[in-house]
A and B are shown apart, each in its own frame.
Chain A
Amino acid sequence: MDEFIDFVRGGPLGPIKKWGTRWSLWPVHLVTACCGAELAHAFACGYDGERIGALNYGIARQTNLIIVEGAITRKMARVLRVTWEQMPDPKFVIVMGACGLEGGLFWNGYHLVKPSDVVPVDFFIPGCPPTPEALLRGIRQLQDKIVTGEAKTSATFSEIMLEQGRKPRVLPKSPKKVSKAPAVLVNVPKQVEWEFGEKLVEELKAKIDAKSITITGKNRIAVKVERDYIPKAALKLRDMGFDHVKNVNVVDVPNEDKFIVEYHFSSYSVKELMPVVVNVFADVPRDEPEVKSLAKIFPSADYLEREMHDFFGVVFEGNPWTGRKFLLAPDAPEYPLRKDFKLEKEVYVR
Chain B
Amino acid sequence: MEEYAIDIPVEPPKELRSLFIPIPPDYVEDVYKSDDFLVLVGPQHPGSGHMRLIVRVKGDIIQEVIPDPGYVHRSMEKLAENRLYIQNIPLVERPAIMDAPNFNLGYIRAIEEALDIEVPERAKYIRTMLAELGRVGTHLYDAAILAVFMGHTTGFMYPFGLRELICEALVRVTGARFTSSFIIPGGVRRDVDDSTFKWIYDMTLAMERRLKSFERIFVKNPTVIARLKDVGVLTKEEAIKYGVVGPFLRASGVEYDVRKVEPYEVYDELAWDMPVSDAGDGYSRLLVRVNEVGQSLSVVRQCIKQMPEGRVISDQIAEKGEDIRGSFYDSLYDLVLPSGEYTTLTEGARGTIIYSIISDGESNVPYRVRIVTPGWLYLRGFMESMKGERLADLQAIYGSFGYFPPEADR
Q: Which A positions have Cβ atoms within 8 angstroms of B? A: 28-34, 36-38, 40-41, 44-46, 58-60, 71, 73, 75-76, 78-79, 82-83, 99, 105-106, 108-112, 128-129, 131, 175-179, 182-188, 190, 216-217, 219-220, 222, 243-247, 249, 251-252, 264, 268-269, 274-275, 277, 279, 298-304, 307, 311, 324-330, 336-337, 341, 343, 345
Contact = CB atoms under 8 A, between A and B. Distances in A.
A33 B43 contact: no
Contact of B50 (A30, A40, A275, A299): A30
Nearest to B364: A177
A11 to B, nearest CB: 35
Given A44-B156, A175-B334, A186 B358 contact: yes
Given A71-B72, A111-B73, A185 B377 contact: no
B44 A28 contact: yes
Contacts of B342: 217
Interface in B49-83: 49-50, 69-79, 82
B70 A45 contact: no
Contacts of B4: none
Contact of B75 (A111, A183, A190, A274): A111
A243 B177 CA distance: 39
Contacts of B157: 44-45
B171 to A, nearest CB: 10
A188 B240 contact: no
Contact of A73 (B44, B70, B163): B70
Contacts of A73: 70-74
B160 A41 contact: yes
A76 B69 CA distance: 11
Nearest to A175: B333
Given A44-B156, A59-B46, A268-B240, A71 B79 contact: no
A251 B358 contact: yes
Interface stretch (B184-192, B227-235, B365-373): B365-373
A330 B363 contact: no
Interface residues of B, number: 86
Given A75-B70, A186-B340, A300 B241 contact: yes
Contact of B340 (A38, A78, A185, A268): A185
10 contacts: A33-B74, A41-B160, A131-B177, A268-B254, A275-B261, A275-B262, A300-B377, A324-B24, A330-B22, A343-B82
B164 to A, nearest CB: 4
Given A302-B380, A330-B20, A37 B72 contact: no
B71 A75 contact: yes
Nearest to A71: B74
A246 B157 CA distance: 36
B202 interface: no
Interface stretch (B92-100, B212-220, B320-328): B92-100
Contact of B362 (A112, A182, A336): A182
Nearest to A342: B82
B22 A324 contact: yes
